[in-house]
Every structure is written in C-alpha cells, then in structure tokens.
Structure 1
C-alpha cells in the first residue's frame, strides 16, 4: 500500500506541476501563449477558459473524495492533451514536439492507474477490518 501511494503521488505531483505550469500563462493570456494559440488557429479568448479549467482539474484531483469528479478531471486532462496534440499535428509541427504530449499522457495514465490501485487497496483493507 505504501509503495502504491508513493508512486501515485509521484505521478500526480508531476501531473499537477505540468498542468499548473501550463494553466498560469493561459489565465494571464501571456504573449507566448497567445502566439501559440494563433499558430494553432484558435481564438485567444479561449486561453483563460482553458487555464481555469486546468486549475479546476488540479483541485478535483487533489481534493479527497468526489470520485466521479476525479474521473471527469482525468478525462478533461486527456481531452485537453489530445486536442493540443491533434492541433499541433494539423498545423505541421515536427514530430519532435510530440515528446511533451507523450510525457503528459504517461503522467495522466500513471496518476489515474495508481489512483485506482490506491482506492482499491484502501477499500480492501477497510473491508478486511470490518470482517475481523
């Protein structure tokens, strides 16, 4: 159980850092973020919306309980990353830029998988304590 929690928090901490670092420039509509959005063909007014959505996803993943909200947060991060990767491919960005997306997918998957392992082992240990 302890190993599972440690691995969960490593993946989740890195995922939160990745999404958190990405959300701040979006919320503030920093010129580099606006330029990237223009390069991808999106209107800059979407930037603050996506930034706030990322922050809400971070909160949903970090706050204990609310399993359905956590599922939606993981799905939202996956949709965000998939949309960004598809957009990058569509505008002809080089394959070397995909590394960021692959790392993001690994962090989302690791956090998600270990969240469920942690939850399942906690419910099993809780069930065992009730039966004794």
Structure 2
C-alpha cells in the first residue's frame, strides 16, 4: 500500500510540474504562448482561461480527498492534451514534433491508475477494519 501511495505522489508531482509549468505562461499571456496559439490558429483570449483551468486542476490533484473532482481533472487534462495534439497536427506540425505530448499522456494515465489503486487500498483497509470491529 505504501509503495502505491509513494508512486502515485511521485507521478502526480511530475504531472503537476508538466501541466503547471505550461499553465503559468498561458495565464500571463507570455509572447511565446501567444505565438504558439497563433501558429495553432487559436485565439489568444483562450490562453488565460486554459491556463487557469490547468492550474486549478493541478491544485486539486495535490489536495487530499475530493476523489470525484479529481476524476474530472484527469478527464480535463486528457481533453486539453488531446486538443493540443490535434491542433498541432492540423496546423502542419509533424508527428515527431508532437511526440513529446506522449509524456503528458503517460503521466496522466500512470497517475490515474495509481490514484485508483490507492483508493481501492483505502476501501479495503476500511472494510477490514469494520469487519474486525463487527466481529469483536
């Protein structure tokens, strides 16, 4: 159980760094982020919205509890990354240029899997405790 929790925390930390570092320039509308959005044929007014959504999602992933909201965050991060991948490919970027996004997808999947393993372990421990108390 401890290995699962530690692995989940490491993967989630990496995931938060991956998306959190990308969210800051979006929120601040850094010129490089605006250039990237123009290249993807996206309007610049989406930058602060997407950046804020990613940053809030990262904060939720770091908070204890809130399992249902975390499910939505994982889904939102997948949608964000899938949309970015699609936009990049549609604007003429080669698959090789888009391949680093696989790191993001892998981090999301791994963190999500270990999140559920941790939840299953907590439910099993709670169930065993209740069974022991009822048997006594």
Match of 2:68 in 1: 68
**CA shift at 1:23, angstroms?**
0.3
Match of 1:128 in 2: 128
Match of 1:56 in 2: 56
What RMSD in Å do the two structures reach over aligned CA positions? 0.8
Match of 1:7 in 2: 7
**CA shift at 1:27, angstroms?**
0.3
Q: TM-score, normalised by structure 1?
A: 0.97
| Correspondence list, 1:107-118, <5 A | 107-118=107-118
Q: TM-score, normalised by structure 2?
A: 0.94
Question: Structure 1 residue runs of 4+, over 4 Å off?
Answer: none
Pick the structure with greater CA Rg.
2
Where structure 2 has 5 or more consecutive residues not aligned to the other structure, the ranges are none
CA distances 1:25-58 after superposition (whole Å, capped 9, x unpaired): 0000000000000000011011000000001111
Alpha-carbon separation, structure 2, partners of 1:61 and 1:20: 11
Match of 1:92 in 2: 92
CA distances 1:36-81 after superposition (whole Å, capped 9, x unpaired): 0000001101100000000111122111222211111000000000
**CA shift at 1:99, angstroms?**
2.4
Match of 1:47 in 2: 47
CA distances 1:79-122 after superposition (whole Å, capped 9, x unpaired): 00000000011011012222221000000000101000001101
Alpha-carbon separation, structure 2, partners of 1:24 and 1:99: 22
Match of 1:25 in 2: 25
Compare 13-22 and 97-106 and name the one that shifted more. Answer: 97-106
